[in-house]
Amino acid sequence: MNIQKLECPNCHAALDSDYGNEGIFFCKYCGQKMIVEEMQNAEYDLKIRKMEMDHETEKIELEHKQQNIQSAYEQEKMAADYKFRTTTIFACIFLLVFIFVVMLIALMITSI
Protein backbone atom coordinates (compact mmCIF):
# COMPACT_ATOMS: atom_id res chain seq x y z
CA MET A 1 0.00 0.00 0.00
CA ASN A 2 1.31 3.40 -0.96
CA ILE A 3 0.39 6.25 1.37
CA GLN A 4 1.26 9.70 0.22
CA LYS A 5 0.81 13.01 1.94
CA LEU A 6 -1.84 15.14 0.29
CA GLU A 7 -0.61 18.67 0.07
CA CYS A 8 -1.30 21.65 -2.11
CA PRO A 9 1.48 22.10 -4.69
CA ASN A 10 0.81 25.84 -4.64
CA CYS A 11 0.87 26.73 -0.95
CA HIS A 12 1.88 23.38 0.58
CA ALA A 13 -1.12 23.37 2.88
CA ALA A 14 -2.49 19.96 3.88
CA LEU A 15 -5.47 18.94 1.78
CA ASP A 16 -8.66 17.80 3.43
CA SER A 17 -9.90 14.54 1.91
CA ASP A 18 -13.46 15.84 2.28
CA TYR A 19 -12.72 18.36 -0.41
CA GLY A 20 -11.84 15.68 -2.88
CA ASN A 21 -14.47 14.68 -5.38
CA GLU A 22 -13.51 12.09 -8.00
CA GLY A 23 -9.86 13.00 -7.73
CA ILE A 24 -10.44 16.76 -8.03
CA PHE A 25 -9.30 18.81 -5.06
CA PHE A 26 -9.63 22.44 -4.18
CA CYS A 27 -7.19 23.94 -1.73
CA LYS A 28 -9.26 25.70 0.93
CA TYR A 29 -6.36 28.09 1.64
CA CYS A 30 -5.38 29.37 -1.79
CA GLY A 31 -8.19 28.00 -3.98
CA GLN A 32 -5.82 25.97 -6.15
CA LYS A 33 -7.64 23.36 -8.21
CA MET A 34 -5.84 20.05 -8.71
CA ILE A 35 -6.39 16.59 -10.04
CA VAL A 36 -5.02 13.75 -7.96
CA GLU A 37 -3.96 10.95 -10.22
CA GLU A 38 -4.85 7.51 -9.06
CA MET A 39 -3.05 6.16 -12.06
CA GLN A 40 0.34 6.05 -10.31
CA ASN A 41 0.44 2.26 -9.94
CA ALA A 42 -0.87 1.69 -13.45
CA GLU A 43 1.66 4.20 -14.80
CA TYR A 44 4.43 2.46 -12.90
CA ASP A 45 3.35 -0.92 -14.31
CA LEU A 46 3.19 0.61 -17.78
CA LYS A 47 6.68 2.06 -17.37
CA ILE A 48 8.05 -1.30 -16.22
CA ARG A 49 6.28 -3.05 -19.12
CA LYS A 50 7.72 -0.52 -21.58
CA MET A 51 11.20 -1.06 -20.15
CA GLU A 52 10.75 -4.82 -20.46
CA MET A 53 9.57 -4.41 -24.04
CA ASP A 54 12.52 -2.15 -24.85
CA HIS A 55 14.81 -4.74 -23.32
CA GLU A 56 13.11 -7.47 -25.36
CA THR A 57 13.48 -5.36 -28.52
CA GLU A 58 17.18 -4.81 -27.79
CA LYS A 59 17.59 -8.56 -27.27
CA ILE A 60 15.86 -9.32 -30.59
CA GLU A 61 17.99 -6.70 -32.38
CA LEU A 62 21.11 -8.22 -30.87
CA GLU A 63 20.01 -11.69 -32.01
CA HIS A 64 19.40 -10.34 -35.52
CA LYS A 65 22.87 -8.78 -35.53
CA GLN A 66 24.40 -12.06 -34.43
CA GLN A 67 22.45 -13.90 -37.13
CA ASN A 68 23.63 -11.38 -39.73
CA ILE A 69 27.24 -11.82 -38.62
CA GLN A 70 26.78 -15.59 -38.70
CA SER A 71 25.28 -15.56 -42.21
CA ALA A 72 27.97 -13.15 -43.45
CA TYR A 73 30.60 -15.50 -42.03
CA GLU A 74 28.92 -18.50 -43.70
CA GLN A 75 28.69 -16.67 -47.03
CA GLU A 76 32.38 -15.76 -46.82
CA LYS A 77 33.24 -19.36 -45.98
CA MET A 78 31.15 -20.62 -48.91
CA ALA A 79 32.82 -18.13 -51.25
CA ALA A 80 36.25 -19.23 -50.01
CA ASP A 81 35.28 -22.90 -50.47
CA TYR A 82 34.03 -22.19 -53.99
CA LYS A 83 37.24 -20.34 -54.85
CA PHE A 84 39.35 -23.20 -53.48
CA ARG A 85 37.37 -25.78 -55.42
CA THR A 86 37.55 -23.83 -58.69
CA THR A 87 41.29 -23.28 -58.27
CA THR A 88 41.82 -27.00 -57.58
CA ILE A 89 39.79 -28.02 -60.64
CA PHE A 90 41.70 -25.59 -62.87
CA ALA A 91 45.02 -26.83 -61.47
CA CYS A 92 44.02 -30.44 -62.19
CA ILE A 93 42.96 -29.60 -65.76
CA PHE A 94 46.18 -27.66 -66.34
CA LEU A 95 48.23 -30.59 -64.97
CA LEU A 96 46.41 -33.09 -67.22
CA VAL A 97 46.94 -30.91 -70.32
CA PHE A 98 50.60 -30.44 -69.34
CA ILE A 99 51.08 -34.22 -68.96
CA PHE A 100 49.30 -34.80 -72.29
CA VAL A 101 51.51 -32.25 -74.08
CA VAL A 102 54.69 -33.71 -72.52
CA MET A 103 53.62 -37.23 -73.56
CA LEU A 104 52.83 -35.98 -77.08
CA ILE A 105 56.29 -34.36 -77.33
CA ALA A 106 57.92 -37.50 -75.96
CA LEU A 107 56.00 -39.61 -78.51
CA MET A 108 57.07 -37.26 -81.35
CA ILE A 109 60.72 -37.40 -80.26
CA THR A 110 60.74 -41.21 -80.03
CA SER A 111 58.99 -41.59 -83.40
CA ILE A 112 61.56 -39.48 -85.21
| 15 is a site residue for Zn ion (CB under 5 A) | no
26 phi, psi to nearest 5 deg: -120, 130
| 11 is a site residue for Zn ion (CB under 5 A) | yes
- Applying CB under 5 A, among 7, 10, 62, 63 the residue interacting with Zn ion is 10
User: Looking at the DSSP assignment, which residues form a beta bridge with residue 77?
Assistant: none
We find the least distance from the C-beta atom of residue 4 to Zn ion, in angstroms, to be 17
| 30 is a site residue for Zn ion (CB under 5 A) | yes
Q: How far apart are CA 107 and CA 99, in angstroms?
A: 12
| 53 is a site residue for Zn ion (CB under 5 A) | no
Q: Which amino acid is at 66?
A: Q
Q: How far apart are CA 18 and CA 6, in angstroms?
A: 12
Give the total of residues touching Zn ion (CB under 5 A): 8
Q: Which amino acid is at 1?
A: M
- Applying CB under 5 A, among 6, 20, 32, 36 the residue interacting with Zn ion is 32
Q: Kindly report the CA angle at 63 between 60 and 64, in degrees rounded to 5?
A: 90
- Contacting range for Zn ion; rule: CB under 5 A; set: 3-11, 14-22, 45-53, 87-95: 3-11
Query: Which residues are at the interface with Zn ion (CB under 5 A)?
Result: 8, 10-11, 13, 27, 29-30, 32
